[in-house]
């Protein structure tokens, strides 16, 4: 509870600052109002960590869940009883898009306040807190630009510029990598931010104030971004950045994971979790299932994370009835064959009774069968997609708050990815070392996050083809990409970026084409490459948005980003 109260205090203090609270102005006008031992930037850091990775329920629902997790191809809607169709977000919706854009674009205000306080000459000047702020800025801008493309960057933190230009992705990537280098140089060999009130500890939800861990995070983010940029037009900085990153410490071991523990008590409108959507909307309508693509990769490769990621299907008896009219009637046989085909693919036994316009199937209950629901299903097949035939997320992903139940942490950056990135660089000829060893260590670290037993991990590595880099370079890069995508489960923004950058899993990147089954959406079946800008940006910064569109391409979901074009 002590940590929770500090988190609330940080959030309230930030609100006071942004609102121009007279009490806070008193700090500026009357320095004697608060002693130097009472005010520290550490109370601001907690708030900017939460706001980026666990914002209030509204953006958590509309940005993370509806868009990122589903574009990533890991969560799915569109079963019988769901409030949201499988087409949602693939069909452009301004309200849902605006909610996502307003949250992520608005985050820069909080970040700007923090950085202006801790920079040289700021009211709370501290170079180490400033370095941490630069790393937070890098995490933010990588997510922001990889979602929308060109966004305000170079002028965004200047309080005197109210209509900042939108910078190209190459400029943003170059600038962020330079700022990460600056942060690492400031940190140097230091391990703590200061003494007394300046000592950052539990207020840091990532690393408990360990500056060397922040330095590793900065370097691993640098490697991620440089590898993503490598080969893109104007990315002449990428090769040097990759080489530099590979020669410095990276996130690689269990102690290096940047996982933000979920607060199980703070209200959903201050710090949200999946369970706030799953339970608080009431009923099955706000539930979702784990995707076919993810379940298939786990099940077919005997991956022990399967039972940690998802629950077995419930099973039972199900009735399929032919609609009286419409396209659903003419496609009835195709629709039910498709659904039953997913059971067949997963090895689920069932008995069928009846025929023609109505029949029932009986599926065993209390058995460990895992079936993923296909993504992007259209409304016509909706009546036949029975929720209890598909796997829901594991309980600790969707647990409610205030019931003493553990909730899986927010993924900021994993040691597993640090290993996978090194393996990728080696396969591409951009580094040296044992790619196989790093790849397997990445798998090992990825499974440890989900508390897979050591014996299960080693059995998987020893026996499964997926654990071996024994193919062509392209086949090996595919395996690395798949594992990066799998370890990003519940971090939809990064999982989605992996698909767009690498083209894997290919079954996602290729989109959908059978519109008897799948929703065409605004994209006409293509895979989403970006999100559209929010209306607020048009209303307040329209000229700069239009200039960006002229450079980047149409403000559409199908417009490829700079790094996706290589």
pLDDT at 268: 79
Please write the tens of the pLDDT for every residue from 383-416.
999 999 999 999 999 999 989 999 999 999 999 9
- Cα 334 to chain centroid distance, Å, stands at 34
Q: How far apart are CA 559 and CA 489, in angstroms?
A: 25
Q: Name the pLDDT band for 271 (thresholds 50, 70, 90).
A: confident
Mean pLDDT score, 62-71: 97
pLDDT at 35: 52
Mean pLDDT score, 540-565: 96
> Residue 397, exposed/middle/buried by CB under 10 A (0-12, 13-18, 19+)?
buried
pLDDT at 24: 37
Q: How far apart are CA 108 and CA 141, in angstroms?
A: 9
pLDDT at 25: 44
Number of other residues whose CB lies within 10 A of the CB of residue 157 = 18
Eight-class DSSP state of 559: P
Three-state SS sequence of 415-477: HHHHHHHHHHHHHCCCCCCCHHHHHHHHHHHHHHHCCCCHHHHHHHHHHCHHHCCCCCHHHHH
- Who has greater pLDDT, 379 or 566? 379
Q: Name the pLDDT band for 19 (thresholds 50, 70, 90).
A: very low
Please write the tens of the pLDDT for every residue from 115-167.
999 999 999 999 999 999 999 999 999 999 999 999 999 999 998 999 999 99
pTM: 0.94
Three-state SS sequence of 187-243: HCCCCCCCCHHHCCCCCCCCCCCCHHHHHHHHHHHHHHHHHHHCCCCCCCCHHHHHH
Mean pLDDT score, 534-538: 97
Mean pLDDT score, 308-322: 98
pLDDT at 270: 81
Mean pLDDT score, 479-500: 98
Would you state the torsion angle of the CA atoms of residues 269, 274, 276, 278, taken in this order, to the nearest 10 degrees?
Answer: 150
Taking only Cα atoms into account, the Rg of the chain, rounded to an integer number of angstroms, comes to 24
Please write the tens of the pLDDT for every residue from 434-475.
999 999 999 999 999 999 999 999 999 999 999 999 999 999
Beta bridge partners of residue 361, listed in sequence order: 318, 352
Cis peptide before 505 (omega within 30 of 0): yes
Number of other residues whose CB lies within 10 A of the CB of residue 27 = 18
> Residue 236, exposed/middle/buried by CB under 10 A (0-12, 13-18, 19+)?
exposed
Q: How far apart are CA 248 and CA 270, in angstroms?
A: 37
pLDDT at 37: 62
The token duo for 463 is: 């026996």
pLDDT above 90 coverage of the chain, percent? 89
- Is the pLDDT assigned to residue 496 strictly greater than 60? yes
pLDDT at 2: 36
Q: Name the pLDDT band for 356 (thresholds 50, 70, 90).
A: confident
- Is the pLDDT assigned to residue 6 strictly greater than 80? no
């Amino acid at each position: 509870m002590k940590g929770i109260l500090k988190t609330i205090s940080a959030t309230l203090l930030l609100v006071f600052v942004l609102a121009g609270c007279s009490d806070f102005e008193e700090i500026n006008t009357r320095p004697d109002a608060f002693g130097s031992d009472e005010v520290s930037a550490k109370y601001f850091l907690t708030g900017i960590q939460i706001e980026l990775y666990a914002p209030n329920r509204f953006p958590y629902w509309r940005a993370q869940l509806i868009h990122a997790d589903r574009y990533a191809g890991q969560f799915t809607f569109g079963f019988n009883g769901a409030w949201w169709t499988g087409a949602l977000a693939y069909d452009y919706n301004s309200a849902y898009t605006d909610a996502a854009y307003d949250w992520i674009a608005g985050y820069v205000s909080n970040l700007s306040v923090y950085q202006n306080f801790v920079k040289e000459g700021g009211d709370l000047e501290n170079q180490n807190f400033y370095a941490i702020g630069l790393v937070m800025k890098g995490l933010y801008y990588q997510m922001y630009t990889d979602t929308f493309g060109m966004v305000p960057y170079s002028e965004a933190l200047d309080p005197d510029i109210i209509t900042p230009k939108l910078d190209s992705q190459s400029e943003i990537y170059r600038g962020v990598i330079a700022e990460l280098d600056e942060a690492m140089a400031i940190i140097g060999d230091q391990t703590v931010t200061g003494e007394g009130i300046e000592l950052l500890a539990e207020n840091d939800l990532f690393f408990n104030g360990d500056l060397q861990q922040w330095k590793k995070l900065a370097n691993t983010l640098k490697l991620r971004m440089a590898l993503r940029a490598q080969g893109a037009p104007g990315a002449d900085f990428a090769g040097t950045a990759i080489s530099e990153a590979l020669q410095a410490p990276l996130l690689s071991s269990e102690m290096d994971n940047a996982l933000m523990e979920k607060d199980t008590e703070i209200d959903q409108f201050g710090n949200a979790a999946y369970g706030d959507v799953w339970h608080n909307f009431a009923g099955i309508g706000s539930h979702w299932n784990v995707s076919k693509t993810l379940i298939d990769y786990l099940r077919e490769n005997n991956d022990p994370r399967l039972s940690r990621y998802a629950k077995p299907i419930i099973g039972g008896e199900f009735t399929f009835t032919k609609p009286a009219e419409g396209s659903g009637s003419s496609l009835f046989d195709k629709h039910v064959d498709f659904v039953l085909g997913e059971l067949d693919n997963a090895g689920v036994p069932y008995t069928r009774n009846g025929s023609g316009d109505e029949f029932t199937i009986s599926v065993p209950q209390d058995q460990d069968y895992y079936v993923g629901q296909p993504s992007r299903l259209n409304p016509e097949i909706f009546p036949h997609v029975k929720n209890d035939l598909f796997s829901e997320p594991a309980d600790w992903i969707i647990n409610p708050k205030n019931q003493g139940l553990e909730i899986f942490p927010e993924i900021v950056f994993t040691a597993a990815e640090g290993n996978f990135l090194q393996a990728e660089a080696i396969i591409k000829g951009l580094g040296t070392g044992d790619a196989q060893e790093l790849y397997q260590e990445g798998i090992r670290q990825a499974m440890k996050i989900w508390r897979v037993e050591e014996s299960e991990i080693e059995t998987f590595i020893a026996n499964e083809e997926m654990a071996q880099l024994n193919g062509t370079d392209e086949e090996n890069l595919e395996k690395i990409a798949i594992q990066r995508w799998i370890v990003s489960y519940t971090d939809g923004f990064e999982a989605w970026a992996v698909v767009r950058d690498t083209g894997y899993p290919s079954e996602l990147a290729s989109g959908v084409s059978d519109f008897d089954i799948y929703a065409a959406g605004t994209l006409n079946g293509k895979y989403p490459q970006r999100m559209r800008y929010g209306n607020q940006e048009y209303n307040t910064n329209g000229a700069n948005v239009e200039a960006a569109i002229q450079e980047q391409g149409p403000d559409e979901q199908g417009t490829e980003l700079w790094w996706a074009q290589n």
